[in-house]
Amino acid sequence: MTAIQVEHLWKEYGDQIVLENIFLDFAPRSFVALVGPSGCGKTTFLRILLSEEKATRGRVLIDGKPLAGEPGADRGVVFQRYSVFPHLTVLGNVLLAAEIPGAPFTGRLFGAARRRAQEEARALIAEVGLTGAEDKYPAALSGGMQQRLALAQAIMRKPKILLLDEPFGALDPGIRGDIHALMLKLWHSCEMSVVMVTHDLKEAFTLATRVIAFERKRNRSEERERFGATIAHDIEVWPKRIAGQPRINPSDRDGPISPEDTGRDDPALLSV
Amino acid sequence: MRLINRRPDRTAGLLLAILPFALVLLAYVLGSAERLAENPADKLLPSLATIGDAIVRVAFTADPRTGDYILWADTLASLERLASALALSTLIALVAGLLIGLLPGVRALLASFVGMVSMVPPLALLPILFIVLGLGETSKIALIVIGVTPFLIRDLAMRVQELPREQIIKAETLGATTWQIALRIVLPQILPRLIDGVRLSLGPAFLFLIAAEAIAADSGLGYRIFLVRRYLAMDVILPYVAWITLLSVIMDFALAKLRDVAFPWFGGAK
Ligand SMILES: Nc1ncnc2c1ncn2[C@@H]1O[C@H](COP(=O)(O)OP(=O)(O)OP(=O)(O)O)[C@@H](O)[C@H]1O
Ligand SMILES: [Mg+2]
A82-140 confidence digits (pLDDT tens): 889 999 999 999 999 999 999 999 999 999 999 999 999 999 999 888 999 999 999 99
Nearest-angstrom CA–CA distance, B168 and A141: 21
Ligand 1 atom 30: residue of nearest CA? A39
Smallest-distance ligand from the CA of A15:
1
- Return the SS3 of A72: coil
* Confidence tier at A39 by pLDDT (50, 70, 90): confident
A232-270 confidence digits (pLDDT tens): 788 887 777 787 777 654 455 555 555 544 444 444 444
Ligand 1 atom 7: residue of nearest CA? A13
Contact status, residue A91 vs residue A121, Cβ threshold 8 Å: yes
* Confidence tier at B216 by pLDDT (50, 70, 90): confident
Give kind and range of the element (H or E) at residue A174.
helix A173-189
Query: Between B176 and A260, where is the model more confident?
Result: B176
Close Cβ partners of B240 (under 8 Å, ≥ 6 residues apart): B71, B74, B221, B224, B225
**Alpha-helical regions (H) of chain B:** 10-38, 48-60, 70-102, 104-117, 122-133, 137-162, 165-173, 178-180, 187-200, 202-215, 221-228, 234-262, 265-269
- Cβ–Cβ below 8 Å for B175 and A72: yes
A187 CA distance to ligand 1 middle (Å) = 28
How many angstroms separate the Cα of A151 from the Cα of each of A84, A198, B175, B230? 9, 16, 16, 71
Residues of A in contact with B173 (CB under 8 A): 50, 71-73, 75-77, 154, 157, 159
Q: What is the mean pLDDT of residues B113-123?
A: 93
B249 CA distance to ligand 1 middle (Å) = 48
Radius of gyration for chain A, computed over Cα atoms and rounded to the nearest angstrom: 20
Determine what percent of chain B is predicted with pLDDT higher than 90: 85
The pLDDT, as a whole number, for residue A264 is 44
Residues of A in contact with B183 (CB under 8 A): 106-107
Q: What is the mean pLDDT of residues B86-105?
A: 97
- Cβ–Cβ below 8 Å for B268 and A140: yes
Among the listed residues B204, B201, B199, B203, the one whose alpha carbon sits nearest the alpha carbon of residue B255: B199
Q: What is the mean pLDDT of residues A160-187?
A: 86
Give kind and range of the element (H or E) at residue A83.
none
The pLDDT, as a whole number, for residue A89 is 96
- Cβ–Cβ below 8 Å for B183 and A52: no
Q: Which of B170, B185, B269 sits opposite A83 (nearest CB)?
A: B170
Residues lining ligand 1, Cβ inside 6 A = A 13, 18, 36, 38-44
- Cβ–Cβ below 8 Å for A154 and B185: no
Q: Which residue of A has its CA nearest to B264?
A: A87
Q: Which atom of ligand 1 is nearest to the CA of A214?
A: 21
Query: Between A245 and A200, where is the model more confident?
Result: A200
